Amino acid sequence: QAATAHGNVGLCLEAPCAMGNFCSSRADPEDSRQQYEKYTFLRQQILSKLSDEVLANECGHLYAEECRRRKVSALSKAHWEEVCFPFILRVSCNDPQTQQRIWQAVEEVYPGPPERPVNEATFIEFHRLALTLAEQDLRQRIAKLKDKWPSGVSGVAP
């Protein structure tokens, strides 16, 4: 249900990470090049979401939709986690370390029990934080691939 809600408002990034095990380590330069292209594509999508008002608009619609669906006036931290779990899986390329960084960062900036209310502005900032951390991790992965296979990924524009 949460993934459908994200898809309805456009937060569903066209994340190639959902396909197979593309996020795993590869020894082949061609596989590394393909991985590089996929990471770069996802990173560009994330940067696009972060660079304009699209994120706020989409999150605002998602927040209102989820409040209506759940028949509540405000979502809780637990609701946010449930709604955003598929989204975080996609932007993290299913990487447990990235996911942990996101969940931990949210807890650090917004400590408290799962029942703690989350207003729309905080909901938007949680998404922004998740995207920012995912982008940082993707940037590091891209740099590692460039270092590992400079000739194998050099033909791909960053």
37-71 residues labelled b (16+ CB within 10 A) or e (exposed): bbbbbbbebbeebeeeeebeebbbebbebbbeeee
Distance CA(24)–CA(74), nearest Å, equals 38
**What is the reported pLDDT for 5?**
39
Rounded Cα distance, 132 and 118, in Å: 19
Other residues' Cβ atoms within 10 Å of the Cβ of residue 3: 15
Residue 87 has pLDDT above 70, yes or no: yes
Radius of gyration (C-alpha) of the chain in whole angstroms: 17
What letter would DSSP give residue 75? E
pLDDT category of residue 145 using cuts at 50, 70 and 90:
confident
Residue 15 has pLDDT above 50, yes or no: no
Looking at every residue in the chain, the average pLDDT score rounds to 80
Strands, E assignment, 1-158: 75-76, 117-118
pLDDT attached to residue 106 = 93
Distance in angstroms (rounded) separating the CA atoms of residues 118 and 27: 44
* pLDDT average, residue stretch 63-78: 96
Higher-confidence residue: 13 or 123?
123
pTM for the complete prediction? 0.77
What does the pLDDT read at residue 32? 74
